[in-house]
Chains A and B, each alone.
Chain A
Amino acid sequence: MTASAPVLKRPVSGPFIAMSLFAAVMMNLLPWQGIALLARPDFVLLLLLYWVIHQPLRIGMAAAWGLGIVMDVADGALLGQYALSYTATVFLALVLHRRIQAFGLWQQALHVSVLLLASQLLTLLAHLASGASFIGWSYFLATLSGTLLWPALGLLIPLALKHKPLPE
């Protein structure tokens, strides 16, 4: 295979996907505080969306649900609220993945912003249903930062994949 055929995608190895998701969990676990916590993009959800959109056969709603439970425990949140929002968002991404793949990075980011917003709205709804009060519009900063991060992901992950040696 020559380097002049970039359209043909090599299948991504399972361990690579798992490692990237693990890294995303670690990024989420970093001690974010205050406004940084609000503005932090949800790395786990972004990586999930990336893999679901680019490798829809490798990863799906079960992984999203499991990672959601992990984030629920990590955040000390109501058990199931991240699981619900991740699952629903990944469902939307699975429905839309062919369409999103056809766009350039920034247009993809626009699509992803809607998905991230849907996820945040679901989490907000779960919170409101369990009796919390709305904490202000800065809550939606995470959608903004996630949208801005998407093109970077779209550039970096193929780069990381390219440097792996070809299987014989």
Chain B
Amino acid sequence: MDHQPFFKRGPSLVARLAFFGLLSIMLMAVDARFNQLELLRQSVGLVLYPLQQIANSPLALSRRAGEFFVTQHQLASENTRLRQQLLATAVEAQRNHSLQAENAYLRRLLASREKFAERATAAEIMSDGRDPFSRRIIVDKGSSDHILPGQAVIDDSGLVGQVTRVQVLSSEITLITDKGQAVPVEVVRNGLHAIAFGHGQDNLLELAFMATNMDIRKGDELVTSGMDGTYPRGVPVAVVTEVERNAGYPFARITCTPSAGVDRYRNLLIVSAPAPRPEPAPKPEHTPKPAPGKKKK
């Protein structure tokens, strides 16, 4: 005889575990492989957004209070410093202006594309990523400000990362130090091309696949090469801090420190991605134009 429970309680515990467990695993697989769950993520994220703002408010409030209680002396000294900086940058801006004109002329001569569009959106860091396994930050601009996934993010001293996920009012930026994040770079000194990989650790990048006889020295500056079409060209990425050549390995171990100060500033610039590359032109003989008379039906 079968055991009948006195109270009806729905499916058994194990059945429920199997159901929800399988559902979670399926979600994980779909999310990791196919990226098809952005709608679910965005809708939950939109509901969660005000709660996150409320949770963040004590910190923001304390920061604002700290800004309010600045002394006169601090303000005065900062003012002087800024004025001096303004003078210095004004001179540089003038020089830059003439250089830009000259550069545009030369580029037109070379018939190459402009380096990158000047459109950029300023964003403020809302919070650090909460996942200790990855290097990510959340900023306060989202698809309502025309942020697109894949855009590059810079600060005043260098490349910070890339927009990886966009919600309506916020977006997630994967830092270049995140594990698996790769940036095509070139060495300023000699134009050597390389790829800088993040390692999931703060302040560490590594140049991968560089043979031991490559001309790379400690102190070399690396800038983006722009070969990927994702990052604009010429943004400082990192400085080489250590070159380790071991005859036992085919590649040198080159570690670098990122130039951007992600942990120092709160304001970032999201620069628009360069225009997509033109599709290769279809060969005319393989794609015959349908006759206009036949198309109408």
Known: A80-B25, A91-B13. A135 touches B200 (CB 8 A): yes
Check B52–A74 contact: CB distance below 8 A.
yes
Residues of B within 8 A of A79 (CB): 27-28, 30-31, 37, 40-41
- B229, CB-defined interface residue at 8 Å: no
Shortest Cβ distance from A95 into chain B, in angstroms? 7
- A17, CB-defined interface residue at 8 Å: no
Check A84–B45 contact: CB distance below 8 A.
no
B28: contacting residue among A31, A60, A78, CB under 8 A: A78
Check B133–A127 contact: CB distance below 8 A.
yes
The CA of A74 and the CA of B31, in the complex, are separated in Å by 15
Residues of B within 8 A of A2 (CB): none
> Per-residue 0/1 for B4-40: is the Cβ within 8 Å of any A Cβ (1 yes, 0 no)?
0000000001101100110111111011100001001
Check B52–A29 contact: CB distance below 8 A.
yes
Task: Name, among B37, B131, B133, the residue most crowded by chain A CB atoms within 10 Å (CB to CB).
Answer: B133
Residues of B within 8 A of A74 (CB): 48, 52, 130
Check B48–A76 contact: CB distance below 8 A.
no
The CA of A127 and the CA of B59, in the complex, are separated in Å by 29
Residues of B within 8 A of A80 (CB): 23-28, 31
The CA of A61 and the CA of B127, in the complex, are separated in Å by 30
Check B21–A76 contact: CB distance below 8 A.
no
Residues of A within 8 A of B281 (CB): none
- B203, CB-defined interface residue at 8 Å: no
B32: contacting residue among A37, A78, A84, CB under 8 A: A78
The CA of A30 and the CA of B51, in the complex, are separated in Å by 10
Known: A37-B132, A76-B138. A31 touches B127 (CB 8 A): yes
Number of interface residues of A (CB under 8 A): 42
- A3, CB-defined interface residue at 8 Å: no
Known: A29-B55, A60-B16, A130-B32. A76 touches B131 (CB 8 A): yes
**Top 8 A-B pairs, shortest CB-CB distance:** A80-B27, A84-B24, A29-B55, A80-B28, A79-B31, A80-B24, A87-B20, A73-B44
The residue on B at minimum CB distance from A60 is: B16
- B129, CB-defined interface residue at 8 Å: yes
Known: A30-B55, A68-B24, A81-B24. A91 touches B17 (CB 8 A): yes
Residues of A within 8 A of B41 (CB): 73, 79
Check B132–A70 contact: CB distance below 8 A.
no
Other than the given A73-B48, A75-B129, A94-B13, 13 more pairs (CB < 8 A) read A33-B127, A65-B20, A73-B41, A74-B52, A77-B131, A78-B32, A79-B37, A79-B40, A80-B25, A83-B24, A84-B21, A87-B21, A135-B200
- B233, CB-defined interface residue at 8 Å: no
The CA of A127 and the CA of B28, in the complex, are separated in Å by 10
- B88, CB-defined interface residue at 8 Å: no
Shortest Cβ distance from A137 into chain B, in angstroms? 12
- B65, CB-defined interface residue at 8 Å: no
